[in-house]
Amino acid sequence: MKKIVLFFIAFMGVAFAGDVDSTIAGYSVLAAGVGLGLAALGGAVGMGSTAAATIAGTARNPGLGGKLMTTMFIALAMIEAQVIYTLVISLIALYANPFLG
């Protein structure tokens, strides 16, 4: 783990060398990548727990399977919307960066 952190610190020193605009652009790329990765991770965990709860509910009461599936699909759409919002903000930070002068 220490080697990976040391590699990233060394990479950041090389990647962000230069003027202020390139430093801000470099940090924007780093923030977009980390933010999108965390959003995808959170979305995947949320979708997994939603599906597990729906399967458990259907196993307990098979008569409610249709209602549970409908509710699950609505919940999955809302979870996925959060990841898509993060993607949009990441794309704005990368291509229409408001921090660059």
> Any idea where the domains of the chain sit in the sequence?
19-95
* Model confidence, pTM: 0.70
What SS3 state is found at 45? helix
**Axis crossing angle, helix 20-60 with helix 65-95, rounded to the nearest 10:** 180
pLDDT at 39: 92
One-letter amino acid identity for 71? T
pLDDT of the residue at 81: 94
Give the CATH fold of the 19-95 domain.
F1FO ATP Synthase (1.20.20)
Q: What is the mean pLDDT of each run of 10 residues along the chain (101 residues)?
A: 75 64 77 89 94 95 93 94 91 80 62
pLDDT of residue 95: 85
22, 24, 29, 31: CA torsion to nearest 10: 160
